[in-house]
Amino acid sequence: MRSFEGRAGGLALTKPAEDITVLQIVLMLEEDQDFFRCTELRQQGPCAAPASQYQKPCNIARLMHQADAEWRRVLAKTSLSDLRQSVLDNRVPAVTEATEAWIAETGALRWG
C-alpha cells in the first residue's frame, strides 16, 4: 500500500484485498501509534510517589495495553476483502451507492 496526502489523498493498494489486513491499513494511516498513552498519574497526582515505588505498570495501563493487543489481533485477522464482504452483506443501497460515487469522484481508493 502507498498513501497519498492531501485533499485527493488516500491509499493505493499494491496487492489483492485478500492479502491486506485492516490492521495494516490502520497502521499505515496512524503511523503505528499506541492506542493508549500512559501519563503515569501515580507520579503526578496529589498522592504521588517516586518512580522507584512503581516496578510494574498500573492496573489501568495493563488493562489498556491488553485491550490494545486484542484490538490489533482482531484487525490483523480481518482482510480488506473480509471487510468489503461484511459491508456488502449488510448494505444500505443508498449509502452504498453514495459511498461508491464518493470513492470514484475523489479517488480515495486506488488499485495498483
| pLDDT at position 77 | 97
Overall average pLDDT of the 43-65 stretch:
81
- The CA distance from 39 to 61, in Å, is 9
Higher pLDDT, 4 or 12: 12
| pLDDT at position 6 | 55
- 92: cell is 444500505
Give pLDDT tens digits for 19-31: 999 998 888 877 7
Give pLDDT tens digits for 69-100: 999 999 999 999 999 899 889 888 888 889 88
SS (H, E, C) 40-102: CHHHCCCCCCCHHHCCCCCHHHHHHHHHHHHHHHHHHCCEHHHHHHHHHHCCCHHHHHHHHHH
| pLDDT at position 5 | 62
Helical pair 22-30 and 59-76, crossing angle rounded to 10 deg: 120
Overall average pLDDT of the 34-40 stretch:
77
Helical pair 80-89 and 22-30, crossing angle rounded to 10 deg: 110
Beta carbons of 9 and 61 less than 8 angstroms apart: no
pTM: 0.62
